Amino acid sequence: MLGRIRADRWFAHQVLFGRRHPEESCAAHAELVARIHDPSPRFSFEGFRGFGKTTYLEEAAVLRAALGEFRYMVVVSANFRPLALQRLAAIRREFEINRQVEKIFGDMKGPVWRDGEIVLKNNVCIQAVGRDMSVTGLKWHDTRPDALLLDDVEDPNEVRTDVERLATWDWLMKTLIPSMSHPLNDWVRSLGTRRGKGSLPERLERAGWPVLKMPIEHLGPTGERLATWPAKFPLAVVDKMRENYRGDMHTYAQEYMCQPVSEENRTFRESMMRSAARERTFEATWAMYDPARTVGQRSATTGKAVWSYVGRKIVVWAASGHRWLPSEMIEDIFEVAERYDPTWIGVEEDGLNEWVREPLRAEQMRRGMMIPVKPVRAPRSKLSFIGGLQPYFDAGEIELAGDFPDLRAQLLSFPHPPIDVPNALAYALRMRPGSPVHDCQIDDLVALSLPVSPWRPLYSCAHARDGWVTAVLAQFVDGEVHVLADFAHQGSADEWIGAIAAEIGLMGNTRRMSVPASPRGIDALKAPDLAPVAVRRETQWVTPETHFDHWINVGLNQAIARLPAIPLRGGKLSAGYGWLGDSLGRSSRGEPIVKVSEHARWTLKALAGGYCRDARGVEIETGPYRCLMEGLEAWLGLMQQGADDEEETDVGHYATDRMGRRYRSVMPARH
């Protein structure tokens, strides 16, 4: 038996100390035991809390002492009382009560048997020492220590500065180890946890010590998650433990994943996260989804964030992480679209192409609701991408309009997963629009009640480009531009013009008015016998000049002709662009010259930032907003064609007819 115990140390631990291991051991324990008894003179161990590394080292001390493999062992802890004494007490107890040890080695109790020091019958001494004690000149009789057991020399309950960590390292390397019998060849085993930069385990590894790390979980050959000790800590238990550290994943990473972290080195801290009670009014919003590819308990979450750019600040309206099925994510996209009406909803391009695009398009068709979804390319380095938020949080330029526990927890735990919610929010830096084409205060334009004037013609300003078909229902009323409604659909003109015309017909083409039951002239409108009847309102279609090119067009005019209707040729885009830019923010008789109905959401979003230039400030970004606004500007350009080519010097010399066209007035006082 002694021969086998000497040759097979894993067998020895199982036979001698089996009662100390009620749960089934794992392969990681066998590897730990092999490294403890490895011929290498030095070894450093880092294992998750509860793994049993201290237990196995205590057993190794008992076994090696009984076999006489050292003469004088020193057990070192962060302090003498109680930590070092506890380690020695556990070793002493095995010699006192372990019947298997007694059967094989006999009664090992020697002449010295007290707290802090024991001497076995085979003349082996084991002594407890604290880091706070002087170890210069350590000797037992004429023997210097030839074995060291270092157990968490840096106490986790201490707040250690860099200077104190360096002092511990100097004490170990300049005082304790040189006091050994053969400092380069004697048996030294160290247990520790990396707590902050410059901790003892980190310094030991840098000094070239062999290191064995045992996290609570690891990845298998194909990338699957595997529990290190399945019998006691299966993945279901690991997930629950991780959830207990929600918002403090740095501690979880230290204690269970063998990863070094410190409070000072955190990318995001609680003090950076500023919350403010804020009610959203007409701020333009953006949203982003970072889809998870799977929905199991071991999968990443789908990150979601909704925000606005308010001056220099990014105001976050919503942020959360969920384990969603594709259908649940699409349902939430529509809820966000209805609640926040975002300018763009971004989806990581890979996720959009894999399993979001087709069901999203089908749901849009089913609901008759078009959502501005933009595919966004995923970053090369997600950690660096999220880290870009740090200076904005630090400067107070990101403001949270709510609690958002998922966002807070994942920011505080960064860079340890999950990090999907911060990843979604980090796109706020990438999706920030360029300079707006028309700079205006959106609150001044919104009209909560903007009825259709029965005395002015209605115009449907249609356009098609870049895969979008749009239309704006507008009127000129007493020198004001009224945007009553708008429409935007992704697809071809042939596919959508009929549907747009039908919606316009419901909204404005037919308007119920009170007129006489029998025609008796205009004065009869004041008569008491009025009856409501439907008065047919025809809408005039206007399209930009490009659609009248015989060779290059996308079939928009042809689709309108099949309604049937004859579109008017729009004016110069530059003329409409100039008029709109000059008129936004101006007022006449206390009323804004340009009014936009609250129901014309695409126009409002375009003016709030969707209609903008690229990052270089040169080209206008393509998409639904450019398509929509160019259609409106073509109509405004047409309205300006009635004006004299002469530069306008006195606005009082111009008037507007019932069709909305300007002409030079012979009455300078009229507007």
What is the residue extent of each domain of the chain?
2-227, 270-430, 442-664
* pLDDT for residue 364: 84
Report which of residues 196 and 437 the model is more confident about: 437
Q: Which of 98-102, 262-266, 387-391, 500-504 has the lowest mean pLDDT?
A: 262-266
What percentage of the chain carries pLDDT values higher than 90? 45
Amino acid found at 176: L
Give the integer Cα–Cα distance in Å for 170 and 80: 19
**pLDDT tens, 215-240?**
999 988 888 889 999 999 999 999 88
Residue 510 has pLDDT above 50, yes or no: no
User: Looking at the domain that runs over 442-664, which CATH code has it been given?
Assistant: 3.30.420.280
From residue 289, give the alpha-carbon distance in Å to each of 156, 380, 406, 505.
39, 17, 14, 36
Backbone angles phi, psi at 511, to 5 degrees: -130, 130
Superfamily of the domain at 2-227: P-loop containing nucleotide triphosphate hydrolases (3.40.50.300)
Q: Is the pTM of this model over 0.85?
A: no
From residue 365, give the alpha-carbon distance in Å to each of 193, 196, 237, 489.
57, 55, 44, 10
Give the integer Cα–Cα distance in Å for 60 and 82: 21
Mean pLDDT for 483-488 is 92
What percentage of the chain carries pLDDT values higher than 70? 85
CATH topology agreement for domains 2-227 and 442-664: no
3-state DSSP call for residue 590?
coil
Count CB atoms within 10 A of the CB of residue 516: 17
Binned at pLDDT 50, 70 and 90, residue 654 comes out as low
Both tokens of 180, joined, read 């050994």
Binned at pLDDT 50, 70 and 90, residue 669 comes out as very low
**pLDDT tens, 297-342?**
445 678 999 999 887 889 999 999 988 888 888 999 999 999 998 9
C-alpha closest to that of 425 among 459, 444, 398:
398
Q: Output 471-476 pairs: Cβ under 8 A, ≥24 positions apart.
A: 471/500, 471/504, 471/631, 472/600, 472/603, 472/628, 472/631, 472/632, 472/635, 473/504, 473/507, 473/508, 473/539, 473/600, 474/632, 474/635, 475/660, 476/639, 476/656, 476/659, 476/660
Give the integer Cα–Cα distance in Å for 495 and 594: 31
Backbone angles phi, psi at 454, to 5 degrees: -75, -15
**pLDDT tens, 134-167?**
887 789 988 999 999 999 888 766 545 667 788 8
Give the integer Cα–Cα distance in Å for 71 and 639: 104
What's the CATH number of domain 270-430, 3.40.50.300, 3.30.420.320, 3.30.1490.100, 1.10.357.10? Answer: 3.30.420.320
Binned at pLDDT 50, 70 and 90, residue 658 comes out as low
Place of tokens 């506890």: 86
Given a contact cutoff of 8 angstroms between Cβ atoms, the answer to whether 600 and 485 are in contact is: yes
**pLDDT tens, 561-597?**
999 999 999 999 999 999 998 888 788 888 889 999 9
Q: Which of 402-416, 419-433, 481-495 has the lowest mean pLDDT?
A: 402-416
